[in-house]
Amino acid sequence: MRKPILIAGGGPVGLTLGLLLEHVYKVPVDIIDRQLAPTHHPQAHFMNLRTMEILKTHLPSLHEQILDMAAPPSQWRDYVYCSCVMGQELARVDQFGPGIKAPPASHGFRNELCESLHDLSPTQPVHFPQHKFEHLLGSFVAEAGLNFERGIELTCLDANGPQVRVNLRNVQSGQEEVREYDHVIGCDGAHSKVRQRTNIEMQGPPKLQSLVNVHFTSQKLSNHAKNSPAMLYFVFNPKIIGVLIAHDLAKGEWVFQIPCFPADPKNPLSEYSKATCEKLIRAAANSDESSSVDVDIHSIGYWEMQAQVATSYDAFNKRVFLAGDAAHRFPPAGGFGMNTGIQDAHNLAWRLARHIHGAPSQLNDYSKERQPIAEATTKLSMKNFERTLRVPTALHVSYTSAQHLMNVTQTTAFQLLPNPFRQTIMSTAMAAGSAHLRAVDDPTSTLGQHLHRRVREIVLRRKAIGMLFYPWDIGYAYDKPFPESSDEALDQSHLFSTKENPHGFTSIVQVGGRLPHHWITVNGKVVSTLDLPQLVLKDCPSYSLLVTDPSWLEKKYTMEIPTVLLVNEEISSNNAIIATFNNKKNSLGDSPISALLLRPDGHVAFVWKNIDEVTPKAVNAILEA
């Protein structure tokens, strides 16, 4: 059978899109990836609240497995600034903040964060490495029977005829074949061939920084960290400045991010051999070189930090689309890259599915809605990146001085020097610039005390990079300004409204925004309001009408879309699904709302205050607009 859709790229975004289209919305797809096997090299590790909500609603067993496999939240709620992991801590900050309780020692690890977020969301963010997520997605894709072909590369795309023609090359045999599809979705990452072939440009500055990342295991380091764990260790000492990410303390897995100034652009990994990386990791682990920290390196990667967004997310009259890194590249500060990509897939899947099922689809709005989100997220990530630089600046090892040094190294005179000389000059200059960091480990040093004070002032006042960004993760609305990335807002990005702190973030009902979460009971089962689009789903994703005024039932309207009556007391109806609020005081929002139209992705399409205006004609008029 010829499939209508090709997904080029089986990374986290392509595989999630494939599952949503075929497994959830019954639209057959082909997925290809040029790699023969999934990567083992970690990149993303933070899955935010909205991503987890999407998975919980549409792919609940995948969501459960992630929660089962992810590290316990008590192991990753802190960020630490230190001279080395086993040495002096300069400052430690609890990124969850006061709204999230620390669990009692006897607590089973899985639900502590879910419980605290109970009124905000039916799930929680997780610290879960991308390569493990991709493996899990791969097994769900296989189990659901999707056609996922590895070792197949898209080399050419032509959409000038009635169909989109693609040339696919088998990377092992070199054999080429031509196939035709109604739609091709480029989920093929930062260097997207689909994007190149559709002449869509990326806008934004060239690369911001080059980094080497090293995946390794160390039992000794993990055993030490287990006593006072953290997700990130920002390390500053005369031998190394970098960030250690504790991926899995039980298995001893870590990733070390090392900023390089500069890496040889032609051969970036040449300066970071296994032996060099081991030495640098030991220097980040322990200042005492005689202590033999075990280091087993699995892989060394190189990546360039960028801040660019595609000028459009579609081409060729909505027959070709981009999603994920193919459409945007953010600095990873805040962890938005993969999350935004999965949320692109969520926005695109229901539109494409409705189009293929023959329902009005608003394919036009995919680019219109998601592209501004990426532009705003770029600004947010840049602001976060700026905030990560505050501690190094306070320690007088600023990014700007390193950049100046990098500019010198790019002069012709420097480039003419033989490579060993260049390396010696670079490392001597870098070491000279950070020699004063020795004072951090000396309790009698006035400079050391001064540096400690400066760092604590920034970190404890939450002026450095944060981890949780509720207003941006779940508070944005399409067609409305994105929450402002001001310092004042970012200092408080981890706060959500609780009895103790009523001034934190609260979800509100707004057109274009995600429907706020409430616990409700439907047919005797406790679910979230976020689950409603999946509860009413019959293959073709459908809008639904949510009515909160029971008097509306007396009108006995026949609606063309599923109707849910959301009330405090159980009543009976043949025309509507009855859902009761679990907290009897609940309503959908502070202002009176009689009904709303819900999109298949759980975003609000329209709000009625006056129940008399909620008629089949009014609903159809909005759906046809």
Ligand X SMILES: Cc1cc2nc3c(=O)[nH]c(=O)nc-3n(C[C@H](O)[C@H](O)[C@H](O)COP(=O)(O)OP(=O)(O)OC[C@H]3O[C@@H](n4cnc5c(N)ncnc54)[C@H](O)[C@@H]3O)c2cc1C
32 binds ligand X (CB under 6 A): yes
381 binds ligand X (CB under 6 A): no
12 binds ligand X (CB under 6 A): yes
Helix axes 419-434, 399-409, angle to 10 degrees: 160
Residues 45-64 that bind ligand X (CB under 6 A): 45-46
Stretch that binds ligand X, among 186-194, 216-224, 546-554, 602-610 (CB under 6 A): 186-194
Map residues 525-564 to x or -, x wherever contact with ligand X holds by CB under 6 A: ----------------------------------------
Residue closest to 571 by CA, chosen among 588, 547, 597: 547
Q: How far is the CB of 400 from ligand X (least distance, A)?
A: 22
Choice between 135 and 396, CB closer to ligand X: 135
* CA gap 306, 329 in Å, rounded: 6
Tokens 């394919």 sit at which residue? Answer: 363
DSSP state of 66: H
Q: How far is the CB of 330 from ligand X (least distance, A)?
A: 7
Q: Find the helix or strand (DSSP H, E) in which 32 lies.
A: strand 29-33
Q: How far is the CB of 166 from ligand X (least distance, A)?
A: 9
SS3 state of residue 374: helix
Choice between 215 and 354, CB closer to ligand X: 215
| Number of residues located near ligand X, criterion CB under 6 A | 33
- Cβ neighbours of residue 289 under 8 Å, at least 6 residues apart? 282, 283
Taking CB under 6 A as the criterion, the residue among 124, 130, 507, 594 binding ligand X is 130
Stretch that binds ligand X, among 38-46, 202-210, 531-539, 610-618 (CB under 6 A): 38-46
Map residues 139-178 to x or -, x wherever contact with ligand X holds by CB under 6 A: --------------xx------------------------
Q: How far is the CB of 271 from ligand X (least distance, A)?
A: 18
Helix axes 49-58, 60-69, angle to 10 degrees: 130
Q: How far is the CB of 286 from ligand X (least distance, A)?
A: 24
Stretch that binds ligand X, among 97-105, 174-182, 185-193, 350-358 (CB under 6 A): 185-193
* CA gap 157, 168 in Å, rounded: 9
Helical ranges in 389-418 per DSSP H: 390-394, 399-409, 412-416
233 binds ligand X (CB under 6 A): no
SS3 state of residue 116: helix
189 binds ligand X (CB under 6 A): yes
Provide Rg for the chain, Cα atoms: 26
Choice between 190 and 425, CB closer to ligand X: 190
Q: How far is the CB of 368 from ligand X (least distance, A)?
A: 20
Q: How far is the CB of 100 from ligand X (least distance, A)?
A: 19
Q: What does the block give as tokens for 477?
A: 């609305």
Choice between 47 and 593, CB closer to ligand X: 47
* CA gap 95, 243 in Å, rounded: 16
Taking CB under 6 A as the criterion, the residue among 5, 11, 24, 232 binding ligand X is 11
Burial class (CB in 10 A: 0-12, 13-18, 19+), 241: buried
Q: What does the block give as tokens for 553?
A: 């039932």
| Omega cis (within 30) before 600 | no
Stretch that binds ligand X, among 40-48, 100-108, 584-592, 611-619 (CB under 6 A): 40-48
Stretch that binds ligand X, among 10-18, 258-266, 420-428, 497-505 (CB under 6 A): 10-18
- Beta pairing partners, 181: 164
Taking CB under 6 A as the criterion, the residue among 62, 187, 263, 402 binding ligand X is 187
Stretch that binds ligand X, among 11-19, 136-144, 416-424, 534-542 (CB under 6 A): 11-19
186 binds ligand X (CB under 6 A): no
14 binds ligand X (CB under 6 A): yes
Stretch that binds ligand X, among 6-14, 75-83, 94-102, 399-407 (CB under 6 A): 6-14
* CA gap 106, 310 in Å, rounded: 49
Choice between 73 and 324, CB closer to ligand X: 324
Q: Find the helix or strand (DSSP H, E) in which 621 lies.
A: helix 616-624
Map residues 306-345 to x or -, x wherever contact with ligand X holds by CB under 6 A: ------------------xx------x--xxxxx-x----
Q: DSSP E strands: which ranges in 99-252?
A: 126-127, 147-150, 152-158, 164-170, 176-181, 183-186, 202-203, 209-217, 232-236, 241-248
* CA gap 66, 581 in Å, rounded: 28
Taking CB under 6 A as the criterion, the residue among 35, 65, 167, 423 binding ligand X is 35
**What is the CB neighbour count within 10 angstroms for residue 124?**
25
Q: How far is the CB of 534 from ligand X (least distance, A)?
A: 23
491 binds ligand X (CB under 6 A): no
- Cβ neighbours of residue 466 under 8 Å, at least 6 residues apart? 95, 334, 384, 387, 490, 493, 494
Q: What does the block give as tokens for 422?
A: 């260049």
Choice between 141 and 619, CB closer to ligand X: 141
299 binds ligand X (CB under 6 A): no
Taking CB under 6 A as the criterion, the residue among 34, 247, 494, 514 binding ligand X is 34
Choice between 236 and 336, CB closer to ligand X: 336
Q: How far is the CB of 519 from ligand X (least distance, A)?
A: 27
Do 547 and 595 contact (CB within 8 A), yes or no?
A: yes
* CA gap 374, 31 in Å, rounded: 24
Taking CB under 6 A as the criterion, the residue among 6, 23, 43, 530 binding ligand X is 43
Choice between 20 and 439, CB closer to ligand X: 20
Stretch that binds ligand X, among 37-45, 510-518, 555-563, 575-583 (CB under 6 A): 37-45
Residue type for position 582: N
Stretch that binds ligand X, among 184-192, 376-384, 432-440, 616-624 (CB under 6 A): 184-192
- Cβ neighbours of residue 313 under 8 Å, at least 6 residues apart? 321, 322, 323, 327, 344, 366, 367, 370, 371
Taking CB under 6 A as the criterion, the residue among 44, 353, 382, 465 binding ligand X is 44
Q: DSSP E strands: which ranges in 193-279?
A: 202-203, 209-217, 232-236, 241-248, 253-260
Site residues, ligand X (CB under 6 A):
8-14, 32-35, 43-46, 130, 153-154, 187-189, 193, 213, 303, 324-325, 332, 335-339, 341
